[in-house]
Amino acid sequence: MPYVTVKMLEGRTVEQKRALVEKVTEAVVETTGATREKVTVFIEEMNKNDYGTGGKLFSDQ
Protein backbone atom coordinates (compact mmCIF):
# COMPACT_ATOMS: atom_id res chain seq x y z
CA MET A 1 0.00 0.00 0.00
CA PRO A 2 1.90 3.09 -1.16
CA TYR A 3 1.47 6.29 0.85
CA VAL A 4 2.67 9.55 -0.68
CA THR A 5 2.91 12.87 1.16
CA VAL A 6 3.05 16.11 -0.82
CA LYS A 7 4.01 19.22 1.12
CA MET A 8 3.34 22.55 -0.56
CA LEU A 9 2.54 26.13 0.28
CA GLU A 10 -1.09 27.01 0.78
CA GLY A 11 -3.11 28.63 -1.97
CA ARG A 12 -3.95 25.87 -4.44
CA THR A 13 -7.55 25.36 -5.54
CA VAL A 14 -9.49 22.16 -4.97
CA GLU A 15 -9.29 21.53 -8.73
CA GLN A 16 -5.48 21.77 -8.63
CA LYS A 17 -5.31 19.40 -5.65
CA ARG A 18 -7.64 16.96 -7.39
CA ALA A 19 -5.42 16.98 -10.49
CA LEU A 20 -2.30 16.53 -8.34
CA VAL A 21 -3.76 13.51 -6.55
CA GLU A 22 -4.75 11.98 -9.89
CA LYS A 23 -1.30 12.47 -11.47
CA VAL A 24 0.61 11.27 -8.40
CA THR A 25 -1.62 8.21 -8.20
CA GLU A 26 -1.02 7.45 -11.90
CA ALA A 27 2.76 7.75 -11.42
CA VAL A 28 2.76 5.43 -8.41
CA VAL A 29 0.61 2.85 -10.20
CA GLU A 30 2.87 2.93 -13.27
CA THR A 31 6.12 2.67 -11.34
CA THR A 32 5.21 0.28 -8.53
CA GLY A 33 2.46 -1.87 -10.00
CA ALA A 34 0.17 -1.05 -7.09
CA THR A 35 -3.54 -0.81 -7.81
CA ARG A 36 -5.17 2.63 -7.80
CA GLU A 37 -7.30 1.63 -4.85
CA LYS A 38 -4.20 1.03 -2.72
CA VAL A 39 -2.50 4.38 -3.39
CA THR A 40 -3.06 7.06 -0.75
CA VAL A 41 -1.94 10.66 -1.31
CA PHE A 42 -1.70 13.13 1.58
CA ILE A 43 -1.51 16.85 0.86
CA GLU A 44 0.02 18.91 3.65
CA GLU A 45 -0.41 22.61 3.14
CA MET A 46 2.15 24.87 4.72
CA ASN A 47 1.19 28.34 5.89
CA LYS A 48 3.25 30.98 4.07
CA ASN A 49 3.81 32.74 7.40
CA ASP A 50 5.51 29.67 8.88
CA TYR A 51 8.24 29.03 6.27
CA GLY A 52 10.91 31.03 4.59
CA THR A 53 13.93 30.90 2.33
CA GLY A 54 16.80 33.29 1.69
CA GLY A 55 16.13 35.01 5.02
CA LYS A 56 12.55 35.95 4.14
CA LEU A 57 9.18 34.44 4.94
CA PHE A 58 7.32 33.11 1.93
CA SER A 59 4.47 35.47 2.82
CA ASP A 60 6.90 38.41 2.32
CA GLN A 61 8.15 37.30 -1.09
Which are the catalytic amino acids? 2
CA distance 21 to 26: 9
Dump the DSSP string for 22-44.
HHHHHHHHHHH---GGG-EEEEE
The three-state secondary structure class of 10 is coil
